Amino acid sequence: MPRRPSRPRLPTPDEIARSPELAILAAIENALDIAIVALVAAQPELQPTADQHDATSTAVASAADLVVTCTQSLAAAIADYRAALPAPPYDLT
């Protein structure tokens, strides 16, 4: 079951100048958050139950659950990519 999406921090202009791909990755992260919220709204059975067991009962709900799982995996991969970027050089002037 999906957790509440976190709001990714938008990259600064300096970060985008150093790593332009961060701009589109931030847009993708926001789109993933919106997709999860929309899927849960469309398929209320994706919301967590008291016993923490997903109650996906229809083919559409199962497919939506898979999409949510994949979006969470992609969001994690983007976070890993961002973490792997080299640290910016310090301006010692």
pLDDT digits (tens, 9 = 90+) for 10-68: 999 999 999 999 999 999 999 999 999 999 999 998 887 776 665 668 899 999 999 99
Q: Does residue 60 belong to any structural domain of this protein?
A: yes
pLDDT at 69: 95
Q: Does residue 35 belong to any structural domain of this protein?
A: yes
pLDDT at 1: 47
Q: Is 16 exposed, middle or buried (0-12, 13-18, 19+ CB in 10 A)?
A: middle
- Domains in the chain, number: 1
> When comparing pLDDT for 53 and 84, which is higher?
84
Give the mean model confidence (pLDDT) for residues 74-84.
94
Q: Does residue 6 belong to any structural domain of this protein?
A: no
d(CA 38, CA 55): 18
Q: Does residue 53 belong to any structural domain of this protein?
A: yes
Range of the domain at 19: 13-84
Contact 17, 23 (CB under 8 A): no
Q: Does residue 77 belong to any structural domain of this protein?
A: yes
Q: Does residue 2 belong to any structural domain of this protein?
A: no
Q: Does residue 93 belong to any structural domain of this protein?
A: no
